[in-house]
C-alpha cells in the first residue's frame, strides 16, 4: 500500500477520483433527505401512529415507511405530498436559488415568466 500525502480534502478527493462538486451536491441531497425523513418520523410519532398505520393509510408496505424514515428511500414529490396530507399537513417546496442563478434564469425566461 502506498502512502498518500494529503494537504487538504481536495487532494484527497482527487486521489480517490471523486469530483468535489459532485460530493458537495450529494452531501446537500442526503442532508435534505435526512431532514425530511426525520420530520416524517417526528410527526408520525406525535400523532401516535405506528409505521404500519401510516403504511396502511398510504397503501404502501410498512417496510417502505421504515426506509423513508431512515433516509434509505428516495421518495417522489407525489409520495411526499401524500405523506404530508396523511399526517394532517401540506407540502411546501422552496428553491433557494442564488441571486446569480436567478438573474441568469430571468434573462432566459419568456417575458410573462419574469413577473
Is 51 inside any structural domain? yes
How far is it, in rounded angstroms, from Cα 13 to Cα 26? 14
Count of domains forming the chain: 1
Q: Which domain holds residue 85?
A: 34-114
Is 28 inside any structural domain? no
Region of 35 on the Ramachandran plot (φ > 0 left; ψ -120 to 50 alpha; else beta):
alpha
Is 42 inside any structural domain? yes
Would you say 74 and 33 are in contact if contact means Cβ atoms under 8 Å apart? yes
Is 72 inside any structural domain? yes
Is 109 inside any structural domain? yes
Q: Identify the H or E element spanning 29.
A: helix 20-46
CATH of the domain at 88: 1.10.260.40
Quote the pTM value.
Answer: 0.69
Burial of 115: CB neighbours in 10 Å, binned 0-12, 13-18, 19+? exposed
Q: Render pLDDT for 36-65 as a digit per residue (tens, 0 to 9).
A: 999 999 999 999 999 999 999 999 999 999
Amino acid at each position: 500500500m502506498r502512502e498518500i500525502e494529503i494537504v487538504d480534502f481536495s487532494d484527497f478527493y482527487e486521489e480517490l477520483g471523486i469530483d468535489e462538486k459532485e460530493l458537495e451536491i450529494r452531501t446537500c441531497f442526503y442532508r435534505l433527505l435526512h431532514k425530511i425523513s426525520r420530520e416524517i418520523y417526528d410527526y408520525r410519532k406525535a400523532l401516535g401512529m405506528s409505521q404500519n398505520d401510516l403504511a396502511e393509510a398510504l397503501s404502501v408496505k410498512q417496510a417502505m415507511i421504515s426506509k423513508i424514515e431512515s433516509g434509505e428511500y428516495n421518495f417522489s414529490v407525489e409520495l411526499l405530498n401524500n405523506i404530508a396530507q396523511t399526517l394532517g399537513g401540506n407540502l411546501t417546496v422552496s428553491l433557494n436559488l442564488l441571486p446569480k442563478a436567478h438573474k441568469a434564469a430571468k434573462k432566459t425566461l419568456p417575458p410573462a415568466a419574469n413577473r
